């Protein structure tokens, strides 16, 4: 007999991955438009930001076990 599997989904606002991506996107967009941080940090800070974003997404994706319900 085949077993039924029901995937439970969490609400979108409970997703750590989405919040992380939104926060990083907001910081990059703010810096791109306002240039408040650039005078105070070395030139390679953007490369580190992309690295943090990539590693953060990877770690959070491996921690993810549920899908997202958009309702």
Of 4 and 64, the one with more pLDDT = 64
The conformational region for residue 69 under phi > 0 = left, psi -120 to 50 = alpha, else beta, is beta
Report the pLDDT averaged over residues 54-59: 90
The model's pLDDT over 2-52, given as tens digits with 9 standing for 90+, comes to 666 666 788 888 888 889 889 888 887 887 787 777 777 777 777 787 788
Query: Tokens standing for 27?
Result: 């910081």
Per-residue HEC secondary structure of the chain comes to CCCCCCCCEEEHHHCHHHHHHHHHHHHHHHHHHHCCCHHHCCCCHHHHHHHHHHHHHHHHHHHCCCEEECC
């Amino acid at each position: 007999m085949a077993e039924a599997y029901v995937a439970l989904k969490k609400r979108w606002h409970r997703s750590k991955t989405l919040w992380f991506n939104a926060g990083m996107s907001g910081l990059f967009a703010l810096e791109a438009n306002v240039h408040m941080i650039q005078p105070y940090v070395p030139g390679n800070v953007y490369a580190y930001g992309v690295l943090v974003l990539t590693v953060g997404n990877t770690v959070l994706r491996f921690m993810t076990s549920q899908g997202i319900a958009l309702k």
